[in-house]
Amino acid sequence: MRQFIFRRTCYSIVTLFILSLTIFAVVRLTGDPALLMTEPGARPEDLARVRALWGLDRPWPIQYAHFLLNILTGDLGTSFNYRMPVSELYFERLPNSLQLALSATLLSFLIGVPAGLLSAVRVNGAWDNIGKVVALTGLAVPGFWLGLVLILVFSVWLAWLPTGGKGDWRNLIMPSIALGWYFAASLLRLTRSSMLEVMRSEYIKLARLKGLPGYVVIAMHGFKNALVPVLTLAGVNLVVMVNAAVIVEVIFAWPGIGRLLYEGIFQRDFPLVQGVVILAGCMIVLVNLFIDILYAYIDPRIRLTK
Amino acid sequence: MAITTAGRGTEARAAGRWRGKLSAARELPLLPIFILVPFAFAALFAELIAPYDPTMPIPGAKFFMPPYWMEGGSPDALLGTDFQSRDILSRLIFGARVSLLVGIMGTVVAGSLGTALGILSGYLGGWVDQVIMRVTDAWLALPALVFAIFLATLLGPSMWNIVTILGLVYWTRYARVIRGEVLSLREREYVKLAEIAGASSLRVIMRHILPNVLNTTMVLASLTIGVVIIAEASLSFLGVGVPPPEPAWGLMLSEARSTLMAGKWWLTVFPGVCILLVVLATQLFGDWMRIRLDPQQRNL
Amino acid sequence: MTTPYLEVRDLQTHFTTFGGSRVVKAVDGISFSLREGETLGLVGESGCGKTTTCLSIVGLLPPAARIAGGEIRLAGEDLTKKSPREMRRIRGRKIAMILQDPMASLNPLFNIYTQVSEPAYYHLGIRRQSLRRRVEDLLRSVRIPSPAMRMRNYPHQMSGGMRQRIVGAIALAGGPKLIIADEPTTNLDVTIQAQYLDLLKDIQQETGVAIIFVTHNLGIVAKMCDRMAVMYAGKIVECGSVRDLFGAPSHPYTKALLGSMAKLGSKEPLFAIPGQPPDLANLPPGCAFHPRCAEATQHCSEHEPKIVPCGQDWTAKCWLAHPKESLRHDHARA
């Protein structure tokens, strides 16, 4: 176990290192970082100051060392627009994004998992066919367009729900649906396939041979095992939703990280964009690490296969 | 494959006929073809089909004209006009060109890059494999959209930049799957024989490895093309994709946002339905490809 | 003579494929019986219908298969007439089954206690402290050291041999009178195999349970079983006491199986019967074994033999075992 954690942690560090290298290289390959790191129309002395601060006049390896050191000490630059450190802005928005992502995850769980389960238990039955249609449309309907249509129907025509902003639970409904829609469909697919695989296993056969009631076989022996990959996906997806719900947050004026990124693009606030990307990457890598270790505890098979 | 039926009763024979029809229908993915052909046609011959120039206002037409069957609509603009009194239908037709072109080109770039790197990684092994796979892991860690936005802010908006960006974002999935495939191919007798016979690495790759992984690439490509189209629409929607006045569906949705509250639904609904149909069709087509080309039914 | 505990009479289990257009007779009219405390070896190459026979008895056939005829009488009651609900109450309580793979047949996410206690919990209504005691007793009876501690463990914390013993404990948990063991030792090391077989024998002596031992290993049959039934292509070709069959097998297939038994130090291949087992969907005419049979005659390829007695409680399905007249007639022709 200890060996697994060690190996997995090293792996994550390498991933983070390559991630930082990628961002560093891409920025320098596509233009002058000093221009990006200063406000549009900056004076020459400002440019010089930024160059000195980030060591942009030195050779690339030293520049990279600078860059890495700044990240490691938590200095991701200052947003032009907010005049605040990017990391502060990020963590200020994090709770909002987390709230939306949790709500979307919950919603997609409530739809995707039972539907996937029903599909798997009655393969090729009516539920399975409905499930297939839902899965297919879920993957084909862009979440942001769904958001727009929801606003049109429930805010403009029916005037039931507010169009956006942060407020009470009613503000959460539409963004959660728009954000969770795609994920509900993928949960459905995964639950179904995972459940089908589990139900073919020898231990399910043994559970039936024991003469257990059908619901015990399905709900306890089957579902509990089928849930392992489903929960893994949910964990990974939650952290992606927190960081990448750009369009849904923009459409519903939700003050989260995605919207922060959008503001960064819109106002040509490069330090903000770069900072959010770096932080999002770090967070995802770390949460993945955490989930892997957690599941290695729950399910010993993971430890053995990786 | 023809299913021979040895049914005795009429019931069995009827069932056999039904199955025969079903399998014939499965031979060709009718629904996706039915959807994709008109869109492809529109994309190819946009100049001939579209009633108006998609970037210019219709002379003498009002802004925000609704579709012709509604009050205030006119047969001059079948699906209405937008905020610059441009024809929605013409913009949709030209938009098909943008979407399909970016979708296909982005997939081609991602597919060739990913397949090439996957083959190198799997065939050469050693440090090359290590480097490529670690980069793949790291790039997969970033959410595709966030990564694409980041690259788009650096490269600036243009259609070819979007193709490059989508290629850079989506090659990783190919690389990982193809590498696994190559690892198992390397153990096959004919590859070993070719190596023993002294064929160069390049020759082994071109003769024996590449033809065998192409199926997988095709399946993956058909499954990702929809994702790429949605990604393009998302980037255009956020203003870092195809720049205006180019008629991209995502851009049309973005422009429609400000008038959504006024109930001008046609501006939002039509481009969205186009995206939905195309992506749905590519998904169905991808599923069909997978059944045809990937008999083991792996979860790609 | 007591009435048999299990009596299978003319059992036919068919697989229907391609929506009813093809029928595969996986089990085609087999009969055998088993008294309490007796051990029957069910022997044959893979694909001959052994496992399908077992699944027919416990009522867990795959969806494509169904019992097309015959009866399975357990203590006088016909199992083929039972509803799924009634069958569920019989499984685990009256009939238990041990599966092949000890690694795969335990649920990785449940501890040993839960898995062993379930049959007693659902069938016998035992709860709490007495359930705990029962699980401990069961684990002790399959020679698990320090059972009170071990039952909190999970399957991955145990060795293959120990897991297979746990599976044995699960089989015993509902107090069945019949255990069907479907090649329970194929995935175990040879030494552990021997230990496990000894254990099963001990358990049988303690509890008086009847066992159907499905295997292709005749060594195990010789060690474990009172009687044996040899299956070929969905039919029982010879059935009798192990002593009789090992001493003077009547059917050439039994002879061939015995001849191919791995002898210690022998360099002969394990299964020396020429040819492949036949495709059940496309059986040869006459006796299904005749293409591979060393003693086959013209007659064998044209007419299917009937089951004839060839001794006390001993039957064979072969023209060679038939009364001499018909055979002589055949030889004259050949």
Closest CA to C216 of C63, C331, C45, C330: C45
C128-135 mean pLDDT: 92
A224-239 mean pLDDT: 87
Segments making up each domain of chain B, as ranges: 29-55+75-298
Q: What token pair was written down for C232?
A: 């070929």
Supply the DSSP string of C263-274, one letter for each residue: PTT--S-S----
Choose among C89, C101, C110: nearest Cβ to A211: C89
At A170, which amino acid appears?
Answer: R
**B6 three-state secondary structure:** coil
| C-alpha to C-alpha distance for C1 and C5, rounded to whole angstroms | 12
pLDDT at A235: 86
C301-319 mean pLDDT: 87
Contacts of C21 in chain B (CB under 8 A): 5-7, 12, 15-16
Residues C21, B11: C-beta atoms closer than 8 Å: no
Residues A205, C105: C-beta atoms closer than 8 Å: yes
Assign B167 a pLDDT band (cuts: 50, 70, 90).
very high
Interface of C with A (CB under 8 A): 58, 60, 88-93, 96-97, 99-101, 104-110, 118-119, 122-123, 154, 156, 167, 170, 173-174
Residue in B closest to C22 by C-alpha: B6
pLDDT 10s digits, C264-294 = 444 544 556 777 788 887 888 888 888 888 8
pLDDT 10s digits, C73-96 = 998 899 999 999 999 999 999 999
Contact B91, B252 (CB under 8 A): yes
Give the A window 32-91 contacts with B, CB below 8 Å: 36
pLDDT at B8: 37
Residues B19, C20: C-beta atoms closer than 8 Å: no
pLDDT 10s digits, C136-175 = 999 998 889 999 999 988 888 888 889 989 999 999 999 8
Residue in C closest to A123 by C-alpha: C63
Residues B279, A246: C-beta atoms closer than 8 Å: no
Assign C2 a pLDDT band (cuts: 50, 70, 90).
low
Q: Which residues on adjacent β-strands are paired with residue A134?
A: none
Assign C209 a pLDDT band (cuts: 50, 70, 90).
very high
Burial letters B249-260, b for 16+ CB under 10 A, else e = bbbbbbbbbebb
B22 interfacial to chain A (CB closer than 8 Å): no
Choose among B226, B253, B299: nearest Cβ to A145: B253
Contacts of B276 in chain A (CB under 8 A): 137, 140-142, 145
| Residues whose CB is less than 8 angstroms from the CB of residue A224 and which lie 6 or more positions away in sequence, other chains included | C109, C110
Residues C108, A221: C-beta atoms closer than 8 Å: no
Contact C135, C116 (CB under 8 A): yes
Residues A19, B142: C-beta atoms closer than 8 Å: yes
pLDDT at A73: 85
Phi-psi domain of A228 (left: phi exceeds 0; alpha: psi -120 through 50; beta: other): alpha
B283 interfacial to chain A (CB closer than 8 Å): yes
Residues B15, C22: C-beta atoms closer than 8 Å: no
Contacts of A292 in chain B (CB under 8 A): none
pLDDT at C325: 52
B275-282 mean pLDDT: 89
Helix (H) or strand (E) holding C70: strand C65-74
| C-alpha to C-alpha distance for A176 and A186, rounded to whole angstroms | 15
Residue in C closest to B4 by C-alpha: C21
pLDDT at C271: 52
Residues C92, A216: C-beta atoms closer than 8 Å: no
Phi-psi domain of A253 (left: phi exceeds 0; alpha: psi -120 through 50; beta: other): left
Assign B10 a pLDDT band (cuts: 50, 70, 90).
very low
B78 interfacial to chain A (CB closer than 8 Å): no
pLDDT, mean over chain A: 85
Chains that touch C (3 or more CB pairs under 8 A): A, B
Assign A299 a pLDDT band (cuts: 50, 70, 90).
low
pLDDT 10s digits, B59-84 = 776 777 777 777 776 777 677 777 77
Residue in C closest to B9 by C-alpha: C21
Assign C117 a pLDDT band (cuts: 50, 70, 90).
very high
Contacts of B155 in chain A (CB under 8 A): 30
Contacts of C22 in chain B (CB under 8 A): 6
Residues of chain C with pLDDT > 90, as a percent, come to 37
| C-alpha to C-alpha distance for A100 and A143, rounded to whole angstroms | 14
ipTM of the complex: 0.86
pLDDT 10s digits, A115-137 = 999 888 887 778 888 888 888 88
Q: Give the mutation candidate from C17, C18, C23 for the B interface (greatest B CB count, under 10 A).
A: C18
Which tops the pLDDT comparison, B235 or B287? Answer: B235
pLDDT 10s digits, B168-189 = 999 998 999 899 888 888 888 8
The answer, yes or no, to whether residue C334 has pLDDT greater than 80, is: no
The answer, yes or no, to whether residue A271 has pLDDT greater than 90, is: no
Q: CB pairs below 8 Å between A and C: how many? A: 78
Residue in A closest to B298 by C-alpha: A193
* CATH code reported for the domain at B29-55+75-298: 1.10.3720.10
Residues A300, C108: C-beta atoms closer than 8 Å: yes
| C-alpha to C-alpha distance for A112 and A46, rounded to whole angstroms | 53
B289-300 mean pLDDT: 64
pLDDT at A11: 87
Segments making up each domain of chain A, as ranges: 1-77+270-306, 94-198+230-255
Contact C321, C308 (CB under 8 A): yes
The answer, yes or no, to whether residue A15 has pLDDT greater than 50, is: yes
pLDDT 10s digits, A233-262 = 888 888 888 888 888 898 888 898 999 988
| C-alpha to C-alpha distance for C121 and C129, rounded to whole angstroms | 12
What are C215-218's contacts with CB under 8 Å, separation 24+?
A: C215/C41, C215/C42, C215/C43, C215/C183, C215/C185, C215/C186, C216/C43, C216/C44, C216/C45, C216/C46, C216/C183, C217/C185, C217/C186, C218/C43, C218/C257, C218/C258, C218/C261
pLDDT 10s digits, A64-115 = 888 888 888 888 877 877 888 888 899 999 999 999 999 999 999 999 999 9
Contacts of B239 in chain A (CB under 8 A): 265-266
A189-217 mean pLDDT: 91
Assign B27 a pLDDT band (cuts: 50, 70, 90).
low
Contacts of B12 in chain C (CB under 8 A): 19-21
Question: pTM of this prediction?
Answer: 0.81
pLDDT 10s digits, C43-77 = 988 888 898 999 999 998 988 888 999 999 998 89
